Each structure stands twice: as C-alpha cells, then as structure tokens.
Amino acid sequence: MHSPREIRRRVRSISTTAQITRAMQMVAASKMRKAQEAALAGRPFARLLYRIQREATTQSEGLQHPLLEVRPVRKRAVILVSADKGLCGALNSNVLRVASKYDTASTVFVTAGRRAAQFIARTGRQLAGEFSYGDNPTFADSRAIAGFARDLFLKRDVDEVKVVFTRFVNTLTQEPLALDFLPVGAIKGLRIPGAEPEEPPKADEAGCSFEPDADAVLGYLLPHYLNLFIYQVLLNAKASEQSARMVSMKNATDSAESLIKELTLEYNKLRQGNITKELLEIAGGQSE
C-alpha cells in the first residue's frame, strides 16, 4: 500500500500531465477546425475539375501524352505523407504500415512530413526526395512534390508512382490509403481525394464543349490535375493529423482525470484509516 506522501506526489505529477494534455487538446482543436475547413473547401473545385477531365476523356480521340504512358514496372516511387509530430494516436503507424508493404529493392520513397523521413532512415529504404509542409499546406508545397514525382516518371527513373497518405473522413475516422498517381493511364481511374461525386451523373446532364479540342484541353490539364491531387492529399493528411491529435489528447486528459479521482479516493481512505487508528490509540490509552 502506498503512503499518503507517495499518493500526493503521484496526484501532483498526473495533474501536471493533465494540464499539458488539456492545453494540447485545445490547440489541436483550434488547428483541427481550420484544417477541416481547408480540406472540405477544396472538394467542390476538385469535383468540378474531375468532371471536366471526365468529359474531356470521353471526347478524347486517342490522346498521346508522356504522363499517360503505361510501362512494365521495374522501379516504383511512393509519395509517403505523414505528420511531423507524434501524439496523434495510431495515425502515423497506420500510414507507415501501408508503406512498409512495398518491396524495398524496387521502391524509392518521396517523403512529406518528418515522421515519414524518420521511418525511411530507420528502416534503410531508398529515399529519392524529402519535403515538408506546415500546419497550413500551400499549393506551392504540392506543386513541388508533384513536380518532383513527375520528373522521376518522365526521366524514366521510375515506371509508376503511388501516393500513401491518410484520408480525412470525419473527426473520429481517418483512413490510410494507397492511390495510383502516375502513369495517369486510364484517367477515369485517377480521382482526386475528395472529388468523389456526391451523386452519380444524370443521363441527360449537359456535356462540355472544348476549344480547340478535348485532347488539347486534357493535355494542358494533366499537370495541373496532378498538382491539385497532391494538394488535396496534403489537406487531407493535415486535417487527419489535427483531428487524431485532438481526440488522442482528449482521451489522455480524461484518463488522467479518472486516475486522479481514484488516487484521491485512495488517499482519503488511507487518511481516514490513519485518523481512526490514532483515535483508537488515544481511547485505549485513556481507558488504561
């Protein structure tokens, strides 16, 4: 049984930890709202761009483009997007578990986020490029990552590129995913995260008219489409990170407060027992 002094020391220590986790929870909640709004705000534009490229693909007549070239896969690149910090539950471990399934001999990694870079260095995998993005990902960040991966593919250093990241579903749910990035190939299969149509297109929906033609528009859109793809990936990853951290810190705070209540109850019982013992000793001494 612990002494009252040890219990008081533990209560003070846990109270300090609870104050830290509560502060982190409040900070993460503030950042989470901004990150979620950014991730959700870009989805209408992503859906519109997806509809345009879908219409252009339907009207395209055998477009030939370097980004569409499908080759036998001898070397693969994986864009791995993680958080910069921990304390966000199983978020990082889940996305790194997906990345660890790729063959180390035939796969090079392009990392975005400090945890991803640390994972590559720790496991001895091949690192092709390392990027960072802050709490507010910018389009310039996504353009740099997409451009680097695009150059690897166009120079034939790799034959395909995949993206491993965490898709934001809601505050309590974040889904690790591995999506195709390059070659675009059958472009109908390249869907920007968040560009899923809310309802299937109607049969009588008015089509688009392209000038000068669908092939020219589609060829121009491809690089921009890939840039937006990575931008939505970064926004989803950041919203997932802040949501997971907020929930994790809330759970840690609740656990600390529950433990403090248990220790306080134990301390009061122990203190009451000691007082009763002293009273009995006093009463016994008076009777003698």
Domains of the chain: 28-200+207-246 (3.40.1380.10)
Q: In what order do the strands lie in the sheet with 173-182?
A: 126-131, 107-112, 76-81, 160-170, 173-182
For residue 185, what pLDDT is reported? 56
Helices (H), 61-108: 91-99
Letter for the amino acid at 69? Answer: E
pLDDT at 34: 86
247, two tokens? 């929930």
The CA distance from 60 to 71, in Å, is 21
pTM: 0.82
In the predicted model, residues of the chain with pLDDT beneath 70 are 1, 57, 59-63, 185-207, 285-288
Give the Cα separation of 110 and 127 in Å (integer): 6
C-alpha closest to that of 57 among 222, 199, 182: 222
Residue 122's H or E segment, with its range, is: helix 114-123
Write down how long the chain is: 288
Structural contact between residues 58 and 138, judged by C-beta atoms closer than 8 angstroms: no
CA distances (Å), 115 to each of 118, 122, 154, in order? 5, 10, 28
Give residue 176's pLDDT.
Answer: 92
Tell me, what amino acid is at 245? R
pLDDT reported for residue 188: 46
